[in-house]
Amino acid sequence: MKRIRSLAAATLAATLSMGTGGAWAQAGETVRIAVIDPQSGPFANIGLNILHTLEFLAEREGGTHNPAGVKFEIVPFDNKMSGPESLNVLKAAIDQGIRYVVQGGGSGVAGALIDAINKHNERNPGKEVVYLNYAAVDPDLTNSKCSFYHFSFDANTAMKMEAMGSSIQDDKRVRKVYLLNQNYSHGQQVTRYAKEVLRRKAPHVEIVGEDLHPLGQVKDFSPYIAKIKASGADTVITGNFGPDLSLAFKAARDAGLDVAFYTYYAGAAGTPAAIGDAGLGKIRFVYPIYTNLASPEYQAVFKAFGQKFPNEAFVTSPAYNLFKALSHGMAKAKSTDPVKVARAMEGLSFRSFTGDVTMRASDHQLQQPLYMATWNKVDAKNPIDVEKTGNTWTLDRLFDSYVASTPTTCQMKRPA
Amino acid sequence: MPARGRQAVLWGGFAFVLIVAPLVFQSGLALTALSQMGYMIIICLSYNLLLGQGGMLSFGHAVYTGLGAFCAVHALNHAGAEGLPLPVSLVPLVGGLGGAAVAAVLGWVSTRKAHVPFAMITMGVGELVFAMTPMFPGLFGGEGGISTNRVVGEPVFGITFGPQIQLYYLIATYCFACTALIFLFTATPLGRMLNAVRDNPERVAFVGCDPQTVRYIAFVIAGFFAGIGGGLFALNFELVQGSAVGGLTSASYLLYTYIGGTLLFFGPIIGAILSVLVGVLLSEFTKAWALYLGLAFMLIVMFAPGGLSAILMANLRVAASGKFCRLVKPGSALLAATPVWLAGVTSLVEMTYHRQIHAPLNPTFRHFGVLLDVSDGADWAGAAALAIVGGVLFECARRGFVRHWRMVQEEMHALGPGAGGAS
Amino acid sequence: MAFFALSLLNGISYGLLLFMLSAGLTLIMSMMGVLNFAHASFYMLGAYLAYQVSAWIGFWPALLISPLVAALLGAVFERWVLRRVHRHGHASELLVTVGLSFVMLEVVQLVWGRAPVGYRIPAELEGPLFTLFGSPFPLYRAFMMGVSILMLLAIWLLVSRTRIGLVIQAALTHPDMVQALGHDVPRVSMGVFGGGVALAALAGVVGGNAYTTEPGMAFSVGNIVFVVVVVGGMGSLGGAFVASLLIGVVTTFAVSLDQSLLHLLQAVDVPVTDAMANHALLALKISQVAPLLPYLLLVSVLIFRPKGLMGTRET
């Protein structure tokens, strides 16, 4: 009798798992995701905002309505913005059996993680870890350092510069450009790409000067602004972020410098509050979304996040695409095993706020439209007040995916 | 126990702990933590050569560990790519030579003065070097730093240094060797002169030695060991970034060496172990780790300037003089009151941090196994009450303990220097 | 000519701002021999307090309230912490202020969060004061310069002309004798420390809205303040003033110099190859290292003239 019962149970279980094609294999499963970012110390501001964003999205995207039927659990790890420390917490995450790692605060850390994860995956088959990158935008990460186990969801420095170049190409007001950047990898890359893209897309534009200043050391930008003024530039391109950006804006306003600023990071958490009323109509930045994007899904997410976290805003849209890619990937692979999911995510297309986006298989860089937004006063069409300043980001231009798409030199080694 | 026998036991014990530790703590994280403790011990000891032995407060020691690390990582890359005949096990020595070379150059300007001017010079030099690293991407690898692979060349006796356990034993070997060497240095005439320069540089000059020369040589030696520590760091992470020479890294060396204790030889060892425990483990348990560290540091500077090692030694001395039984009761009272007070205070701190960071998502969290709810006033009141009551208890117990302690110290003093006396 | 005049004006105003930041530290240094590592943290605290008071009451009351609160905290710290550490030596005092700077950073973040706060320049102080060669000079910058000069005058008058100043100066070198003469030296120390950090807080009130008010502000300002005090000479007010102006002007002018070692080589007719042109060190322009010149100055002064430009003591 017992044997018949256990046989019946086994047959039932086998039938169930076969009959529904294994889609139930991971349903109800909780996928644990490690978030490695600075959550204490001087860079904690951005790290905590992204942690809240990911926790919020995990709650929203997981559950029965998830395409793969999985739930997500976010496990935070504080790396204090240090590469070696990130490797420590990566070990801790792997020890806890977590197979998915999310990070974006700093390309230095990103490079370290890719290296360490490659080595770990090579030395520990069956325990592979996949790394999803939401903001580290060094193009090397999908070129010379590309890895099968790394997926990039933000547009990288070169892609955003392509978008800027297209904008400048069509803007007759731009004649003379000044390049102001921080003297480290990112700033040096922005300077290099700006020269290359402008030469190609807008050869009529003259680059009248460039400056590279030490990162985070400049308190008084007035000498730089004076140089910009003396050069006769009408546009400044800068990859600066944080105080290096907001102080530059303030100095420009104080000196009455009437130029347009094309930036990468004017929209990052905390910077709009520091900008205040400076540079209205002049400051622009390029990013996969902008605050007043007319997408019902995005507006719903934005509102819900703002209600849950009244002092923060939903600014990191790549995180949304990250969850969507993961969910669709798991549904396609019918599994939560990282290697199978990684394979499924290659070439995957899915619907996002801004239309269809594709995870390019050759280098694992998400191909998506980009937006150029300008800092302006709140109005009827653009009602969202950014960081209680009374101002907001309004749409300047939309760039289709193909505009910002850049070729890759990635020679990706895929597992057998 | 005769002094030599005692020394043998201590060193033997040290070696034993080094060998056995990874067999006890076996997880991946534990193994990398032990590895980090290994080279941090070397670094903190090298730092104490300056601070404790030489009276030189340096705010820029990371320059020497970091540049040593960069030398090591470049050498390792050359060994891999261009077949430089350098075994991986000797790479830290390259780091050491690099650190010594940089110390020889920068030390010439740094050691001309002592005390606060020295501290300021090291700070200025540290800032300069750190700020310059992003500007020379060929040397320092820009933001990503220089990465490397320690699995190069033919395995020797089957050892590739790929698995962390093999690297740990390499680090443990260097740790033991460097600790022994630094200990021997402190007993040499030069080491004693260094102490003399710390205590009374004018007298040293009268005796015929130039204090600046002594400081300079000590600086270079410290740079050598710092570079070895840096080289092991490079091997451990297979990555060196600009932060390795930064001010925060230097500050952490200072903080932990001081907390461990600068007056006794093994103080920095305690500090190094603590640095890894706090840096790697504590920050995963609580977001308030920086606050705790800052407060602990201030308390140690105020009440125990000799550091944890001095506290330990004082207790050992009491035990050796046979008067420890007198302290058992007040000590137990203190040990019983402390957790109560700490539980209350840490609950308040953790609740405050949790409220700021996580409350919108989940107002509850576990603290020492107890579920706390930041939206519940009763929990706040409870924690506050615990802190206050615990504080009162702690203060009473502390006063009692201090009274007994002072009595014991007086008695020991009256008995003469023969009483008590660990090494 | 226009560029030179503008740069000079910018340089001098930046120098005066640096002095405003370091005045309090110089006072504490000269009176107590303590190098207060937490000075920049009090600057940060002053800015945050001013932000809060401005939000509740207004900017002008904040000018008064914020330094007072900071002075109180400073006095409490001196009484309960610094005095206890005093007997262990100057190094210990330095270290305890290092610990304090970490603790203050955490507390500020706990109270006001980790993001920059919107501390704004009051409307009545916005706008240009005058226009020089087509460039407006902001009114608020002139206000900051004015505050800086007032600080200089106030400290100088206090130290040299008042009774308390003489007591302070005497207590520095002969504390026991001064105590024997009946003056309450510990109370004076408390007052001096409180006064010094009050000046730091005042600098925060005035500077926090012109620069961003965020948790990292102490870290970014701390180092340069030490450079000013040490270069000027520890214990010398005049030295700090001269040093800040020197640093301000040199840094500002250095930004406009785009010359590098390559230019030097070209000037002496050494042929420059492509490899050399791309070499990081040779191509390094003076403008790229301009913000680092203060540290170079610090190291040079400490090597050649450890007393500082106008200092009278070394430690």
- What CATH number has the domain bearing residue B57? 1.10.3470
Asked which of B236, B268, B302 is the last residue of a domain, the reply is: B302
Domains in chain B, number:
2
Contact (Cβ atoms closer than 8 angstroms) between residue A285 and residue A261: no
Same structural domain, B27 and B90:
yes
Number of Cβ atoms within 10 Å of the Cβ of B181: 15
Cβ <8 Å between B297 and C98: yes
pLDDT at site A5: 52
- Position B173 confidence tier, pLDDT thresholds 50, 70, 90: very high
Cβ <8 Å between A213 and C288: yes
Contact (Cβ atoms closer than 8 angstroms) between residue A138 and residue A365: no
Assess whether pLDDT exceeds 50 at residue A9: no
Sequence-distant (6+) residues with CB within 8 A of A353 are A289, A293, A295, A297, A298, A317, A320
CA dist., res. A193 & res. A182, Å (int): 14
Share of chain A above pLDDT 70, in %: 94
Q: What is the largest CA-CA distance in chain A?
A: 95
The tens digit of pLDDT for each residue in A390-400 reads 999 999 999 99
Backbone φ, ψ for residue B410 (5° rounding) = -65, -45
Same structural domain, B378 and B264:
no
The mean pLDDT of C68-90, rounded to a whole number, is 90
The mean pLDDT of C281-298, rounded to a whole number, is 85
The tens digit of pLDDT for each residue in A107-129 reads 989 999 999 999 899 888 899 99
pLDDT at site A25: 54
Sequence-distant (6+) residues with CB within 8 A of A227 are A209, A211, C255, C256, C287
pLDDT at site A2: 54
Provide, as residue numbers in chain B, all residues whose Cβ is less than 8 Å from the Cβ of C91: 57, 115-116
Cβ <8 Å between B301 and C95: yes
Provide, as residue numbers in chain B, all residues whose Cβ is less than 8 Å from the Cβ of C94: 57, 116, 119
- Has residue B6 been placed in a domain? no
The tens digit of pLDDT for each residue in B76-92 reads 998 877 777 888 889 99
- Position B269 confidence tier, pLDDT thresholds 50, 70, 90: very high
Assess whether pLDDT exceeds 70 at residue B421: no
- Position B71 confidence tier, pLDDT thresholds 50, 70, 90: very high
Same structural domain, B356 and B297:
no
Same structural domain, B213 and B327:
no
- Position A8 confidence tier, pLDDT thresholds 50, 70, 90: very low
Domain that holds residue B195: 14-302
The mean pLDDT of A236-252, rounded to a whole number, is 91
Same structural domain, B267 and B410:
no
CA dist., res. C205 & res. C144, Å (int): 10
Number of Cβ atoms within 10 Å of the Cβ of A402: 9
Asked which of B251, B271, B302 is the last residue of a domain, the reply is: B302
pLDDT at site A283: 93
Cβ <8 Å between C35 and B116: yes
Class of domain A25-155+296-367: alpha beta
The tens digit of pLDDT for each residue in B181-193 reads 999 999 999 999 9
CA distance B278 to chain A (A): 12
The mean pLDDT of B359-387, rounded to a whole number, is 83
Assess whether pLDDT exceeds 80 at residue B298: yes
pLDDT at site A22: 38
Same structural domain, B64 and B138:
yes
Share of chain B above pLDDT 70, in %: 98
CA dist., res. C251 & res. C294, Å (int): 8
CA distance B303 to chain C (A): 8
- Has residue B1 been placed in a domain? no
Q: What is the mean pLDDT of chain B?
A: 89
Q: Which of A88, A95, A305 to mutate to test the interface with B (most CBs of B within 10 A)?
A: A88
CA distance A406 to chain C (A): 26
- Position A342 confidence tier, pLDDT thresholds 50, 70, 90: very high
- Has residue B420 been placed in a domain? no
Q: Could you say which residues from 261 to 300 on chain A have a Cβ atom under 8 Å away from some Cβ of chain B?
A: none
Provide, as residue numbers in chain C, all residues whose Cβ is less than 8 Å from the Cβ of A188: none
Specify the CATH architecture of the domain A158-287+369-404.
3-Layer(aba) Sandwich (3.40)
Cβ <8 Å between C135 and A256: yes
Same structural domain, B33 and B112:
yes
Same structural domain, B349 and B400:
yes
Provide, as residue numbers in chain C, all residues whose Cβ is less than 8 Å from the Cβ of B301: 85, 88, 92, 95-96, 99
The mean pLDDT of A44-65, rounded to a whole number, is 89
- Position A26 confidence tier, pLDDT thresholds 50, 70, 90: low
pLDDT at site A117: 95
The mean pLDDT of C281-289, rounded to a whole number, is 82
CA dist., res. B186 & res. B203, Å (int): 20
Assess whether pLDDT exceeds 80 at residue C201: yes
Same structural domain, B294 and B343:
no
Higher pLDDT, C76 or B115: C76
Assess whether pLDDT exceeds 70 at residue A220: yes
Query: What is the complex's ipTM, to 2 decimals?
Result: 0.87
Higher pLDDT, B118 or B172: B172
Same structural domain, B287 and B346:
no
Cβ <8 Å between C99 and B254: no
* Burial class (CB within 10 angstroms; exposed 0-12, middle 13-18, buried 19+) of C180: exposed
Share of chain C above pLDDT 70, in %: 98
